[in-house]
Amino acid sequence: MTGTGELVRLGRRTAKGVAGYDLAALLVGSEGTLGVITEVTVRLRPTRAPERTVAGYFDSIVDAGRAVDAVAAAGITPSALELIDRQCLLAVDAWKDMGLSVDANVVLLGRIDTPGSLGDDEAATMRTAFDKSGASWSAQSSDQAEADALFAARRLAYPALERLGPVLTEDICVPIRAVPEMLSRIESIATQWDTRIANIAHAGDGNLHPLLIAPHDDDAARQRAQAAFDDIIDAALNLGGTVSGEHGIGLLKMGGLVKELPPAVLDMPHNIKRALDPTNILNPGKVFSRTI
Amino acid sequence: MTGTGELVRLGRRTAKGVAGYDLAALLVGSEGTLGVITEVTVRLRPTRAPERTVAGYFDSIVDAGRAVDAVAAAGITPSALELIDRQCLLAVDAWKDMGLSVDANVVLLGRIDTPGSLGDDEAATMRTAFDKSGASWSAQSSDQAEADALFAARRLAYPALERLGPVLTEDICVPIRAVPEMLSRIESIATQWDTRIANIAHAGDGNLHPLLIAPHDDDAARQRAQAAFDDIIDAALNLGGTVSGEHGIGLLKMGGLVKELPPAVLDMPHNIKRALDPTNILNPGKVFSRTI
């Protein structure tokens, strides 16, 4: 539904198509500012081949970041490469007692969906990358139940942390080469602002989710957490990254968006917004801090 | 370079990113109407695994279309699935004497880049799909030189046809299920308008390139070819397809674009164009037949 009340269908039913501008791509991620999406049709793909899981334990988060860079440098594109840090492991254990924090400070979970012996080779290469980057332990899981349990711990990390207090969720994304440096800067920022920062990450994409615990009942701590949040954004931009890898801008990252995009680039979405929603009725006041 | 003379850099250097609208996606395929693209940075991917080539010969082009549908229905996503019809084979042989037209009326060339034994299975499944759809001959090429020669014939088809006269190149794309029906309709249209139409196709994508020979020196024949061209567009739209799978709109398909997109959808790119190029200096008069 457009800003002028027209019901339109965008996108295409064909595998390829270049008839005019890619309006579906423009609407995806526009956060309701260019139209109200009332119906979505998705393309189905064949089921993936069974995946291999490789786990690595690390003493330091920067070593785990180096392993992520080493995997990318080896030319492998994992179907998943997730990072869970000590704060998250402790929170999961405090809630579900999975015993992970006994053995590991930081866990990397990699998945390879390349089929056949090439997939075996890639899994072995990933494990080597983990070991060479200082893993204290690594293994390719031969047991699907075990592999699923590790990924379950990953999924539990966020709700486990929320039990500890209000969480300010970051969503930065940096070039993969910059992952170790970014993780190191997050550690420094946590120390500098005396703020508890846990990390979960879609590390293989360079998409990091530092989670800042900002207690309700402590105004000074909340302000320090906000300062740390802003510093993390500055560090990500400084390393060639973005303020949002997947969550979007909303209200929380409106300031970050202005830092990321130069004024001439910001003019373009502003002008598009004005063209497609002339009366500014579509999610007004979000994404763009400047008045449309 | 924008319509207001600003030099901007769009896109992102990170694997993921959702900071504002996807302006790079909007500019890609905008055919110079939203900005002048002065520099492009592309992402590199690892080299693909070696591919398997499966060739099939068919007596009728509609059977070859059925084979394309059968491959998709089997859940396979080939890295290439190309069709070359009798007119093209004759033209290539007339030029390069490759001897293809002796054995085949229509050739399908499939490639599978799935590695390992799964790739072997998919190549075998593709060959079975060819056979069940009425292939007069099929084989998985064990010889890379032979496979490359077949694809060379595919690449020669267009210049070979151009030797026969001016070619009006179609670029329709239909849902894969509709490929056999579309090929059948093209045959009927050729007969109806007494126009020589050759077919090459990225058939696995449903992207067909009917090539209409429109002789310079025969006005009546040129007019019939134009009528056939328009009928092919109508048939593609009727089957849920698009007027352009990959070539774009330019001048040739401006009428087709208006047929494909309803007025409310056409309003959107018009308004975007006006917003980003207020003085209409960027490739004016192309893509959109309506005055901006």
Interface test with A, best of B268, B272, B280 (most A CBs within 10 A): B268
CA distance A184 to A100: 23
In a domain, A1, yes or no: no
- Enumerate the residues of chain A whose CB falls inside 8 A of the CB of residue B75: 46-47
Provide the pLDDT confidence category of residue B291 given band limits of 50, 70 and 90.
Answer: low
The whole-number pLDDT of residue A153 equals 87
pLDDT for residue A290? 64
A287 touches chain B (CB under 8 A): yes
Question: Which residues, other chains included, contact B32 with Cβ-Cβ below 8 Å and sequence gap of 6+?
Answer: B282, B283, B286
Residue of B nearest to A252 (CA): B19
Model confidence at A60, in pLDDT bands (50, 70, 90)? very high
> What does the mean pLDDT of chain A come to?
93
Question: Out of B12, B21, B206, whose CB is closest to A15?
Answer: B206
Whether residue A92 is contained in a domain is answered as yes
> Does some domain include residue A109?
yes
Are B29 and A18 within 8 A, CB to CB?
yes
Bridge partners of B58, per DSSP, are B106
The domain that holds A157 is classified in CATH as 3.40.462.10
- For residue B7, the chain A residues in CB contact (below 8 A) are 264
Q: What is the pLDDT of residues B51-102, one digit of tens each?
A: 999 999 999 999 999 999 999 999 999 999 999 999 999 999 999 888 888 8
Chain B contact for A126 (CB, 8 A cutoff):
no
Residue with tokens 């087709």: B256
- Contact (CB<8Å) A119/B116: yes
Ordered alpha helix ranges (H), B56-97: 61-73, 86-96
Is A87 domain-assigned? yes
Confidence of residue B103 (pLDDT cuts 50, 70, 90): confident
Q: B73 in contact with A at a CB cutoff of 8 Å?
A: no
Nearest CA in chain A to B114: A115
Q: Which residue has the tokens 């711990």?
A: A153
Q: What's the confidence (pLDDT) of residue A208?
A: 98
Residue B225 domain-assigned (yes or no): yes
Amino acid B222: pLDDT: 93
CA distance B164 to chain A (A): 29
Of A14, A29, A75, the CB nearest to B242: A14
Contact B22 A26 (CB under 8 A): yes
Percent of chain A with pLDDT over 90: 81
Q: What is the pLDDT of residues B215-257, one digit of tens each?
A: 888 999 999 999 999 999 999 999 999 999 999 999 999 999 9
Beta bridge partners of B224: none
Rounded CA gap, A270 and A290, in Å? 8
Query: Do A273 and A249 meet the contact criterion of CB atoms below 8 Å apart?
Result: no
Q: What is the pLDDT of residues A261-287, one digit of tens each?
A: 999 999 999 999 999 999 999 999 999
**Nearest chain A residue (CA) to B205:** A15
| Closest to B127 measured CA to CA, from B118, B137, B114 | B137
Contacting residues for A220 by C-beta, under 8 A, at least 6 apart:
none
Structural domain span for residue A87: 52-238
Q: Residue A133 and residue B88: Cα distance in Å, rounded?
A: 56
* Chain segment A192-229, per-residue pLDDT in tens: 999 999 999 999 999 999 999 988 889 999 999 999 99
**Hey, how many other C-beta atoms are within 10 angstroms of the C-beta on A169?**
15
- Is position B7 within any domain? no
A9 interface with B at CB cutoff 8 Å: yes
Identify the three-state secondary structure at position B199.
strand
| Bridge partner list, A83 | A108, A201
Q: What is the mean pLDDT of residues B279-291?
A: 86
Check pLDDT > 90 for residue B176: yes
Q: What band does A175 get if pLDDT is binned at 50, 70 and 90?
A: very high
How buried is A124 (Cβ within 10 angstroms: 0-12 exposed, 13-18 middle, 19+ buried)?
Answer: middle
Contacts of B63 (CB under 8 A, 6+ apart): B106, B133, B134, B135
Name the closest residue on chain B to residue A44, using Cα atoms.
B75
The answer on pLDDT for A101 being more than 70 is: yes
Closest residue in A to B47 (Cα) is: A75
Q: How many domains does chain B have?
A: 1
Residues of B in contact with A204 (CB under 8 A): 15
Q: How far is A80 from chain B (nearest CA, A)?
A: 13
Q: Is residue B269 part of a domain?
A: no
Q: Judge whether residue A291 has pLDDT over 60.
A: no
Percent of chain B with pLDDT strictly greater than 70? 99
> CA of B272: which chain A residue's CA is closest?
A272
Chain B residues with CB-CB distance to A119 below 8 A: 115-116
Domain assignment of residue A96, yes or no? yes
- Residues of B55-64 as b/e, b for ≥16 C-beta within 10 angstroms? bbbbebbbbb
Residues 6+ apart with CB under 8 A from B123: B52, B54, B110, B112, B140
Average pLDDT, chain B: 93
Picking from A199-203, B145-149, B262-266, B267-271, which range would have the lowest pLDDT averaged per residue? B145-149
Of A45, A173, A275, the CB nearest to B271: A275
Q: Is B241 on the interface with A (CB under 8 A)?
A: yes
